[in-house]
Chain A
Amino acid sequence: QVQLRESGPGLVMPSGTLSLTCAVSVDSINRDNWWTWVRQPPGKGLEWIGEIHQSGNTNYNPSLKSRATMSVDTSMNQLSLKLTSVTAADTAVYYCARATPYKLDYWGQGTLVTVSS
């Protein structure tokens, strides 16, 4: 059973940087897995942010225009997401999830990030 838990500041200032971490259960992060970040604005649908392999390879959603950066720390069993130049449109629940070929099978519980001054 893979367990994931997101954490980070719940409030970020406009034009600032959103920084989140995702703790992954032991023995999971060092396997040949891809890990994704997905977000969901309040009352809206799901948007894929990007994915990272445990090797460090990444793919991002082009719609974020290079604002997103993901990293993986295998020694700490955690993933990280940074999103720069945030606006109110980045207010959302952010999820991390494991990607096995072409599907997201394990999800964290999500963390709400609000962009506001």
Chain B
Amino acid sequence: EIVLTQSPGTLSLSPGEGATLSCRTSQALSSTYLAWYQQKPGQAPRLLIYAASSRATGIPDRFSGSGSATDFTLTISSLEPEDFAVYYCQQYGPSPMYTFGQGTKLEIK
């Protein structure tokens, strides 16, 4: 079973600043299988990034994803007030299975 480890656990930043969130996998995987989600309190997760670097429909271009093998990154170029939320990475495989990281909470400093 692949384990996804997200860091940091909590990130305190101010609007306008940039954010870098990390997701490390315990085994190398194809970037095709890596996605990122945003979740706000009381809401369902929302798909942000799939295939490591492709933005989902309607996602602003301040969100970008990168990485390969075991190290993946979600970058938010300039934080808007609505970006403060919890972010999860997710991988698929190797067996038919989805696994999520434990989440990074992005909070207002």
Residues of A within 8 A of B45 (CB): 46, 95, 104, 107
Pick the contact of B98 from A48, A62, A107, A109 — CB < 8 Å? A48
**Which chain A residue shows the least CB distance to B45?**
A107
What does the 1/0 interface line of A63-102 toward B look like (CB < 8 Å)?
0000000000000000000000000000000010101011
CB distance from B22 to the nearest CB of A (A): 16
Known pairs A102-B32, A102-B33, A103-B35; A47 contacts B47 (CB<8 A): no
Q: Is the CB of B44 within 8 A of A110?
A: yes
* Interface size band for B: 20 to 34
**Is residue B51 contacting chain A, with contact meaning CB distance below 8 A?**
yes
CB distance from A69 to the nearest CB of B (A): 16
**Is residue A27 contacting chain B, with contact meaning CB distance below 8 A?**
no
**Is residue A54 contacting chain B, with contact meaning CB distance below 8 A?**
no
Known pairs A46-B88, A104-B47, A109-B44; A59 contacts B96 (CB<8 A): yes
Q: Known pairs A95-B44, A102-B51, A107-B46. 12 more at Cβ < 8 A?
A: A45-B101, A51-B96, A59-B97, A102-B35, A102-B92, A102-B93, A103-B51, A103-B56, A103-B92, A105-B50, A109-B44, A110-B44
Question: What are 7 A-B pairs with beta-carbon distances under 8 A?
Answer: A46-B37, A95-B45, A102-B32, A102-B35, A104-B35, A104-B45, A108-B44
A residues sitting closer than 8 Å to B (CB atoms) are 36, 38, 45-48, 51, 59, 61-62, 95, 97, 99, 101-105, 107-110
